[in-house]
């Protein structure tokens, strides 16, 4: 019994460590690769707002079009901004060397970002930029302190300000609730009213779609793996009865 209890505790320990996420509490989302409409909206936001600086060079436009149920022509017309072809990877023209000198750190390729940081981290990161006059771009970030990226989605979200002390912010802040949405906006942050194009709810939805897309490009075969996995389990289940019947047949004479 004692061993069993220890085994259970050991099994749960890594989960609690993972959930801590570096001190700042992260907002949780459930990504859904079957939601094609969400993925399509996310891809549009990604192409229009992120690919000025970040590539997703392990993802091809064509594969994304197929997986999200979009005709190739539509993707070519609306989602490929340069003169790239549908069969090409989602690369960008900016060189990493130039970018490093402009931003201090080069914007990394984002194909595998959702696997590196997890969807919750990216979802929280993109919603927790706040005004900070001491930073070169005038913004800082709760989960990525002194980040080198400007808040490129400020036109959508509006200007966000921090109501906490630096210490509170570093520890996830006190439990301030956003008066507009009644949600905890990165714990300490509130958006200045009417400074962005989207309402807080719509901005959260747009970021959900964007992160959903980023999770998809991190693991484009996930849906297929799940489908194959289910079929294999069904096969094994059916096969069990035949194997069992065969075993009975073989041992019939022995007993």
Q: Out of 65, 68, 79, 147, point to the residue binding ligand HEC (CB under 6 A).
A: 147
When the beta carbons of 134 and 253 are compared against ligand HEC, the nearer one is 134
Q: How far is the CB of 11 from ligand HEC (least distance, A)?
A: 29
Based on the shown chain and the rule CB under 6 A, indicate whether residue 43 belongs to the binding site for ligand HEC: no
Based on the shown chain and the rule CB under 6 A, indicate whether residue 148 belongs to the binding site for ligand HEC: yes
Based on the shown chain and the rule CB under 6 A, indicate whether residue 117 belongs to the binding site for ligand HEC: yes
* Beta-bridge partners for 89: 60
When the beta carbons of 68 and 149 are compared against ligand HEC, the nearer one is 149
Select from 5-13, 24-32, 150-158, 228-236 the region that touches ligand HEC (CB under 6 A): 150-158
When the beta carbons of 156 and 176 are compared against ligand HEC, the nearer one is 156
Q: How many CB atoms lie within 10 A of CB 251?
A: 9
Contact 22, 51 (CB under 8 A): no
One-character DSSP codes across 157-200: H--EEE-S-HHHHHTT-S----TTTSS-STTTEEEPTT-SSS-H
Residue 26 Rama label (left phi>0; alpha psi -120 to 50; beta)? beta
Based on the shown chain and the rule CB under 6 A, indicate whether residue 49 belongs to the binding site for ligand HEC: yes
Based on the shown chain and the rule CB under 6 A, indicate whether residue 54 belongs to the binding site for ligand HEC: yes
Based on the shown chain and the rule CB under 6 A, indicate whether residue 79 belongs to the binding site for ligand HEC: no
Based on the shown chain and the rule CB under 6 A, indicate whether residue 191 belongs to the binding site for ligand HEC: no
User: Alpha carbon of 74 to those of 42, 86, 88, 185, 246: distances in Å?
Assistant: 15, 10, 15, 36, 55
Binders of ligand HEC among residues 221 to 240 (CB under 6 A) are none
Q: Out of 108, 178, 220, 222, point to the residue binding ligand HEC (CB under 6 A).
A: 108
Could you tell me which of 181, 172, 174 has the C-alpha nearest to residue 204? 181
Residues 6+ apart with CB under 8 A from 106: 96, 97, 99, 100
Q: Which residue has the CB atom at the shortest distance from ligand HEC?
A: 50
When the beta carbons of 86 and 144 are compared against ligand HEC, the nearer one is 144
Q: Which residues lie near ligand HEC (CB under 6 A)?
A: 49-50, 52-54, 103, 105, 107-108, 110, 113, 117, 122, 125-126, 147-150, 152-153, 210
């Amino acid at each position: 019994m004692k061993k069993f209890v220890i085994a259970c505790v050991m099994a749960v320990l890594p989960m609690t460590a993972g959930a801590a996420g570096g001190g700042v509490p992260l907002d949780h989302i459930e990504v859904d690769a079957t939601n094609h409409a969400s993925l399509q909206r996310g891809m549009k936001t990604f192409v229009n707002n992120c690919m000025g600086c970040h590539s997703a060079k392990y993802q091809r436009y064509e594969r994304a079009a197929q997986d999200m149920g979009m005709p190739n022509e539509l993707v070519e017309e609306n989602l490929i901004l340069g003169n790239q072809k549908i069969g090409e990877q989602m690369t960008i023209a900016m060189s990493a060397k130039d970018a490093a000198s402009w931003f201090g750190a080069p914007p990394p390729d984002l194909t595998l970002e959702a696997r590196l940081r997890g969807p919750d981290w990216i979802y929280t990161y993109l919603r927790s930029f706040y005004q900070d006059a001491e930073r070169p771009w005038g913004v800082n970030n709760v989960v990525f302190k002194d980040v080198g990226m400007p808040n490129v989605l400020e036109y959508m979200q509006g200007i966000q300000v921090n109501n906490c002390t630096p210490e509170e912010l570093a520890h996830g802040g006190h439990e301030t609730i956003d008066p507009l949405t009644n949600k905890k906006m990165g714990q300490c942050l509130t958006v200045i009213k009417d400074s962005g194009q989207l309402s807080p709810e719509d901005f959260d939805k747009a970021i959900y779609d964007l992160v959903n897309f980023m999770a998809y490009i991190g693991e484009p075969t996930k849906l297929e793996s799940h489908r194959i996995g289910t079929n294999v389990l069904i096969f094994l289940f059916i096969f069990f009865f035949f194997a069992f019947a065969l075993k009975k047949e073989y041992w019939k004479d022995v007993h």
